[in-house]
Each structure stands twice: as structure tokens, then as C-alpha cells.
Amino acid sequence: MDSLLQKDENLLWHPYTQHKKALPCLAITKAEGVYLIDENGNKYIDAISSWWTNLHGHAHAYIAEKIYEQALRLEHVIFAGCTHPPAVQLAEKLLPLLPGNMGKLFYSDNGSTAVEVGIKMAIQYWRNKNENKRNKILAFRHSYHGDTFGAMSISERSVFTLAFDNYLFDVVFIDTPCQKNIHTLIAEIKKQGPETLCFIYEPLVQGAGGMRMYDAMLMDEVLSEIKNHGIICIADEVMTGFGRTGKLFASHYLQKAPDIICISKGLTGGALPMAATACNNKIYEAFLSDDKEKTFFHGHSYTANPLGCAAALASLDLLEKEACKKNIELISLQNRQFVNELLANKNLTGVKNPRSSGTIMAFELQSGDNIYLSNIRDEMISRSLNEGVLIRPLGNTIYIMPPYCITKEELGKVYLVLKKIIDRFGS
């Protein structure tokens, strides 16, 4: 009989994978807490929270119980013309927690679709108001917002988009703010402002672009100028939401709030696929009309899935517990300590830009090959797996983003593995 890996190789096509050269998959058959467990019983610390989704640990009993209870009542119903308690309860609980004065919640399936919804809301907002002079979208360089066509269009042109570049719509890209470029950025925004309909940004941390981190005070200067021109601000908090940067949302570090916010990944604690796009009432009211052409024509088969809503409600319950808040603080503190240790070690000449933001920690290895397709990436993954830790470098950018239930000792083991990788590749 074929093994699980052999069957997988015969049948499946994995994301972001060149199957001609790919490492063998991990055959994961169960998980508990921070650990993934393969078919041979080997355990791996999930140091990247399974693509940044898992907040409270795998197979969490409380989340599983709430999904089970909901499945016995209602597993799904069309959300066009119907509603149900978990969708309403989640909106009631989530909207007051979001940055800004959000008034409505629109459910979808994943980060890319949450972004698509936000961009479509912004575009149609101006159309519904009969203001057709605004036809530009502003975004940051090095941004990544997803793999659907709208999300690709507003992302940095890169290896992710290369095959599709000729099919993407044009976007005006600007740099993330720093002391050297802030005046140039403000001037560019003033130039583009009258024709710009929206600005989309990953607040304070650009994820797939390399865990690039930037300053909150300078970002507020950018957002202040953006808002002076009436441009709709869309915060992509798909990755940064639900405590990843220390605060519940990265936008909570900013004085200027978004008009639209996109969330997914940690929304259900990593249990089920789900996303949401929230907007303030100014946006929503532009769609209220006797003219049916001003309807927001967008939806998904599994919009507001009751099981996903139940998982999200359970995850929010856990996030509100003092123990979870304390764990986020402890992980953030340990990350800062590890970064300071790297910065203080003058012998680590191959380590570049150690940094952290809450539960996210990252640095580069000066390997001479710093693109996503770096040949050293697979070797770093293999070495970490041999030590019982799962990481997934972005080229030569090493990062961790563990579940909040990780212990001091488990996180210490992750750091030890990273030090071994530094010893091997960092000189």
C-alpha cells in the first residue's frame, strides 16, 4: 500500500511549490498545542503558526467544542436573504474591537477575498457618488495582499505576480515611511491625491514582503496627508490582526484610523477558513439607494458560514482571557530580548536587521541570495525540521510567529535552532 506521502505526490498540487525540486512534505496526522505530529510520531514546534493563522494552539478543545455545538444546530445557510445567530453575535463582538468607528461587517472566505471586498467597496463608493475623476489606487512597495487578481494588482510586482503582470491593473506604489523619505512621500501624496480613490497598506509590518517593519509616528504623518485628500484608507490586517504585533490590531498603534479594515488568518484561531471586511458608515451609506445599480454585487457561497463564526467567537473568548494577554506580552518580551542579544553580538556579521513587533521576530542572513527563491531556504528548513522546529523563511529572511500558548522553554528551543542556523549560514 502506498504511503501518505506517495499518495500525496500522485494526487496533489501544493501552494508555492516547485514539485520538481521540492522538499518532501511533512505527513502531519495530528497536532496538539504548539506541536505538529507526523505519521511516525515526530513532533515539530509550529514556529510560524501554520501560515500565521493559529493563535491558541492546535486542536484547541474549547474551539472544537463550539464548532461541534454549532454543527448540531446549523452548519450553513445562504447569506443572501438569510441570517443566523453566530453571524450577528460575531459582528456584535468584533466591531467594537476594531480600530476606528466601524459600522458594518462583510464576511468572506480568506485574506485575498477580504482585500478584494475592500478594494471593490472603495472603487464603487466613488462610482456611487458620481465622482469619476478618482481612478488611482495607492499602495506600498514590497506589499503583498493576496493571490486573486485584484489583490495581486495592489501588491508589489514580484515572483508571485510575474506570470500575470500584463493582466493586472495599474497602481501607484510609494515607499513605506522613514526619516529620510517622509517629505518626498508627502509631496507624492499631494501630487496623486486629487485622482486617488483609496490607499491600502499593511499597518507597521509587511508580511510576505519580508516582515518589513516601519514607524507608527511616520505612518500617522502619511495617513494624515492621505485623509486631507479624502482618500479611503484600507488597512490590511489579515496578518497583523488579533494580537500579532502586541496590541489587538496594529492600527491601534496609530492615531489615524482606517475607513475599511480587512481581517482573516487568526480570525478563527486557525480552525476554519474565514474572513471579514469592516467599513465605517460613511462607506456603507454610499450604497444605500433606490437605484439598485448601487448595490454591492459581491458574495461567496460560504459567506458567514456558521461554523466559522462559531470558531471566531470562541477564539475571541480566548483572546480576552488574561492568560492569553499575558502570554502575548511574554512572547513579545522574549522576542525583544533575542533581538537585543543579536544586536549586541558584534561577531554576528552575517546577521542583518534583527527586529521584532510583538509576537513577530525577524532578521536577514547575508547569504548573497536574498530573493524568495533563495537556494539556502530549503536547507534552512531541513535543518530546523531535524531539530524539531518548523520555520518557512522568506528567501533569506528568517522569522517566527508562534502560537500564543508557546511556553518560555519551547520558545527558547526555537531561538536555539535559529542560533544554529545563524552559525551555519550567517557568516
Known catalytic residues are 16, 144, 236, 265
CA-angle at 137, arms to 130 and 122, nearest 5°? 45
- Write out the H or E segment, with its range, that includes residue 136: strand 136-140
- Rounded CA gap, 257 and 131, in Å? 23
- Rounded CA gap, 44 and 34, in Å? 8
- Write out the H or E segment, with its range, that includes residue 276: strand 275-280
Pairing of strands 196-201, 136-140: parallel
- Rounded CA gap, 178 and 148, in Å? 30
- Rounded CA gap, 420 and 369, in Å? 19
Pair 242, 319: CB distance under 8 Å = yes
Pair 280, 100: CB distance under 8 Å = yes
* Residues 6+ positions from 407 with CB-CB distance below 8 Å: 34
